[in-house]
């Protein structure tokens, strides 16, 4: 077979159902082969969108998304999405076309050094140098991407190797999978030490991270906590890992966390962190001056080393979080271990009830928080939420109470504007029976507005909720707080009707709401609409997100803003 045929056949064997990409001369042999295979090619607006769609595919399923791009600027376009997936630990394979081998290292048309571009931003970069190892490279990359701490693997593929023939072996998937199998378990002594610490605690708190955001991970922490009932807080990447309607699930912790999550962390005496990267917007607010003992489980050796140095935890385990939790649960069942923390649980539930989120309810302009509060009332278990980046993202994280894992997709660590729509394209293909909802702000929306064309022309049943405040809200808030209210680059001189654009891109439903009395009816019609649907809601340009723990401040100094008050 030719190299291009081997790539298509290898992806078929791996169970890949669709790839996301944008074609070009240096990758055309592969695209041509895929065109006659059972694998669907989804053509995005650009290569960044293609890689974000592959990431959305991975984030919303237990599969590995695949992006295929050509050489030169296609590679640099994909870089941002690759870096985003690397930061959030998302598995992905990117196959990038390259100039012929004899032109590598020259100033050939559309040549770039792929390894140098992606080196710091990918889990691994492979430059294919022999026709004989193309099959092995593709299959190994797929399993490597999902192993350990997941991440993107980039394959640099010269066009001459795509056109050269060699023998195709086929099969042997178990051999590639076996390289990355990790059966590391907690020992009896380690389990005993953990429960010794837990038994001594009166106010334990679970800190749940993206390392648990899988079907396995969510099931493992729910089994563990059925026995112990420990109150929990979570990172942005872990929404839905536990049912956020649980009275003792206190939601998002951090700079823009819920008031009750940010309050309970000040009181705990045993901090059990699982699958987290200790984001600076969370950890720096604590300083851990509180007298809490720390247990930490994570699969990333580099992060484990860092936390051991910085936090001096009392218990650590380097390995798969779900497996470790199952080991702890099984040990507790064998030894009949239970804890008595009824007063602490009542305290957690009371905090959540006493300090509800709130927003301005008497203003003329609609509030983003208000719109998201209404959407939360309409959430169903078959919905997958994707977001852009900005105030709308964090308000969605505050107000939308997710019940299942892998249902809230957002750019966390890298915080990349323009993520929402292309991620929804990927999630839609991974979950054809789900209702995929994009929550976007006008600034983030404009970054990858070309995906309106992708969604509309492919007739994808993606619903877009565009919260248009005519400005980059988060930056505007910072300008108001620290720059004397000078809006140097966040003003929008003229309004644009984005819903009208959606209608031109074949959206069957596209409405614009400017008044409160029209919101609920329009939202119901939008959710009921078939096919691509957009609801644009014009919101208050001066709305700020609360609570906020400002840089240099601690959780005890949390600013609740003008509307959040204790409910007695």
Q: What's the N-to-C CA distance of the chain in angstroms?
A: 73
The overall average pLDDT reported for the chain is 94
98 and 158 in contact (C-beta within 8 Å)? yes
What pLDDT digit, counting tens, does each position of 146-162 carry?
A: 999 999 999 999 999 99
- Residues near 45 by beta carbon (within 8 Å), at least 6 away in sequence: 422, 448, 450, 451, 453, 454
For position 287, what pLDDT does the model report?
Answer: 55
Sign of the alpha-carbon torsion through 516, 521, 522, 528: positive
Q: Which of 72, 64, 136 is nearest to 94 (CA)?
A: 64
458: its two tokens: 């492919």
- Using 50, 70 and 90 to split pLDDT, how confident is the model at 87? very high
- Stretch 470-474: mean pLDDT: 91
C-alpha distances (whole Å) from 517 to each of 24, 522, 551 are 49, 10, 38
393 and 439 in contact (C-beta within 8 Å)? yes
Higher pLDDT, 111 or 204: 204
Q: Which of 397, 401, 393 is nearest to 439 (CA)?
A: 393
53 and 121 in contact (C-beta within 8 Å)? no
For position 495, what pLDDT does the model report?
Answer: 86
For position 130, what pLDDT does the model report?
Answer: 85
Q: Which residues pair with 124 in a beta bridge?
A: 153
For position 40, what pLDDT does the model report?
Answer: 98
- Using 50, 70 and 90 to split pLDDT, how confident is the model at 44? very high
What pLDDT digit, counting tens, does each position of 282-299 carry?
A: 766 665 445 789 999 999
Domains, the chain:
3-179 (3.40.50.970), 188-354 (3.40.50.1220), 368-542 (3.40.50.970)
38: its two tokens: 């059972």
What pLDDT digit, counting tens, does each position of 492-543 carry?
A: 888 899 999 999 999 999 999 999 999 999 999 999 999 999 999 999 999 9
309: its two tokens: 């140095």
Asked whether the predicted pLDDT for residue 445 surpasses 80, the reply is yes
Q: What are phi and psi of 186, to 5 degrees?
A: -70, 140
C-alpha span between 92 and 266 (Å, rounded)? 38
24: its two tokens: 């070009």
For position 391, what pLDDT does the model report?
Answer: 96
For position 147, what pLDDT does the model report?
Answer: 95
C-alpha span between 175 and 165 (Å, rounded)? 24
- CA–chain centroid gap for 95, Å, is 22
Place of tokens 């029209």: 518
Which stretch of 2-6, 108-112, 397-401 has the lowest confidence by average pLDDT? 108-112
Asked whether the predicted pLDDT for residue 435 surpasses 90, the reply is yes
Sign of the alpha-carbon torsion through 233, 237, 238, 240: positive
Residue 367 DSSP SS3 = coil
For position 426, what pLDDT does the model report?
Answer: 98
pTM to 2 decimal places = 0.95
Residue 546 sits at the vertex; the CA angle it makes with 540 and 552, to the nearest 5 degrees, is 130
Which stretch of 42-46, 168-172, 398-402, 428-432 has the lowest confidence by average pLDDT? 168-172
Which stretch of 31-45, 219-233, 360-374, 466-480 has the lowest confidence by average pLDDT? 466-480
Q: What are phi and psi of 133, to 5 degrees?
A: -115, 15
- Stretch 424-432: mean pLDDT: 98
C-alpha span between 413 and 423 (Å, rounded)? 16
7 and 138 in contact (C-beta within 8 Å)? yes
Residue 451 DSSP SS3 = helix
C-alpha span between 297 and 489 (Å, rounded)? 43
What pLDDT digit, counting tens, does each position of 241-273 carry?
A: 999 999 999 999 999 999 999 999 989 999 999
347 and 556 in contact (C-beta within 8 Å)? no
For position 288, what pLDDT does the model report?
Answer: 47
Residue 332 sits at the vertex; the CA angle it makes with 330 and 335, to the nearest 5 degrees, is 110
Residue 97 DSSP SS3 = strand
Peptide bond between residue 137 and the one before it cis (omega within 30 degrees of 0): no
C-alpha span between 39 and 505 (Å, rounded)? 26
Q: What is the CA radius of gyration of the chain?
A: 24
For position 289, what pLDDT does the model report?
Answer: 43
Q: Which of 8, 159, 40, 177 is nearest to 96 (CA)?
A: 159
- Burial code (b: 16+ CB inside 10 Å, e: under 16) for 47-78 equals bbbbbbbbbbbbbbbebbbbbbbbbbebbebb
468: its two tokens: 């248009």
For position 286, what pLDDT does the model report?
Answer: 64
Instruction: Give the HSE-up count for residue 41: Cα atoms under 13 Å, Cβ half-sphere.
Output: 17
- CA–chain centroid gap for 279, Å, is 14
Q: Which of 290, 274, 285, 257 is nearest to 207 (CA)?
A: 274
Which stretch of 277-281, 365-369, 399-403 has the lowest confidence by average pLDDT? 277-281
> What proportion of the chain, given as a percentage, has pLDDT over 70?
98
């Amino acid at each position: 077979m030719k190299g291009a045929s081997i790539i298509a056949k290898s992806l078929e064997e791996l169970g890949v159902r669709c790839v996301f990409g944008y074609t070009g001369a240096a990758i055309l042999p592969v695209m041509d082969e895929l065109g006659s295979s059972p694998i669907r090619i989804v053509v995005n607006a650009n290569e960044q969108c293609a890689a974000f769609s592959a990431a959305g595919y991975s984030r919303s399923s237990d599969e590995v998304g695949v992006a295929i791009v050509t050489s030169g600027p296609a590679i640099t376009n994909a870089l941002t999405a690759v870096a985003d997936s690397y930061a959030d630990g998302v598995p992905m394979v990117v196959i990038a076309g390259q100039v012929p081998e004899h032109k590598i290292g020259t100033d050939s048309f559309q040549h770039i050094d792929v390894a140098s571009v992606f080196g710091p931003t990918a889990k691994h970069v492979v430059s294919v140098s022999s026709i004989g190892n193309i099959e092995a490279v593709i299959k190994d990359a797929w399993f490597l991407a999902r192993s350990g701490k997941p991440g993107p693997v980039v394959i640099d593929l010269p066009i001459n190797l795509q056109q050269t023939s060699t023998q195709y072996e086929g099969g042997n998937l178990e051999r590639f999978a076996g390289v990355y199998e990790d059966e590391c378990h907690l020992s009896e002594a380690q389990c005993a030490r953990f429960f010794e610490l837990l038994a001594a605690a009166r106010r334990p708190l679970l800190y749940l991270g993206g390392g648990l955001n899988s079907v396995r991970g969510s099931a493992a922490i729910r089994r563990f906590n059925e026995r112990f009932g420990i109150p929990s807080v979570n990172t942005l990447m872990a929404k839905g890992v536990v049912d956020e309607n649980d009275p003792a699930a206190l939601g998002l912790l951090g700079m823009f966390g819920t008031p009750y999550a940010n309050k309970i962390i000040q009181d705990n005496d045993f901090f059990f962190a699982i699958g987290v990267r200790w984001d600076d917007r969370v950890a720096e607010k604590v300083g851990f001056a509180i007298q809490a003992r720390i247990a930490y489980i994570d699969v990333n050796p580099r992060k484990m080393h860092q936390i051991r140095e910085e936090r001096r935890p009392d218990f650590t385990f380097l390995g798969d979080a779900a497996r470790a939790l199952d080991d702890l649960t099984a040990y507790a069942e064998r030894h009949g271990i239970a804890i008595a923390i009824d007063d602490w649980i009542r305290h957690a539930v009371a905090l959540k009830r006493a300090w509800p989120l709130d927003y301005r309810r008497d203003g003329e302009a609609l509030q983003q928080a208000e719109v998201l509060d209404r959407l939360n009332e309409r959430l169903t278990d078959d919905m997958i939420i994707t977001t852009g980046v900005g105030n709308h993202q964090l308000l969605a994280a505050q107000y939308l109470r997710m019940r299942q894992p892998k249902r809230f997709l957002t750019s966390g660590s890298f915080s990349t504007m323009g993520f929402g729509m292309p991620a929804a394209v990927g999630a839609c293909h991974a979950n054809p029976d789900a209702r995929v909802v994009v929550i976007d702000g006008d600034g983030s929306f404009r970054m990858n507005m070309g995906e309106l064309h992708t969604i509309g022309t492919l007739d994808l049943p993606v619903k877009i909720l565009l919260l248009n405040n005519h400005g980059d809200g988060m930056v505007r808030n910072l300008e108001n707080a620290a720059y004397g209210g000078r809006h140097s680059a966040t003003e929008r001189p003229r309004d644009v009707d984005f819903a009208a654009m959606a209608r031109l891109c074949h959206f069957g439903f596209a409405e614009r709401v400017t008044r409160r009395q029209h919101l609920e009816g329009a939202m119901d019609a939008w959710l009921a609409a078939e096919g691509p649907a957009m609801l644009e809601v014009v919101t208050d340009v001066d709305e700020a997100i609360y609570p906020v723990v400002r840089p240099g401040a601690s959780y005890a100094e949390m600013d609740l803003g003008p509307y959040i008050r204790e409910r007695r």
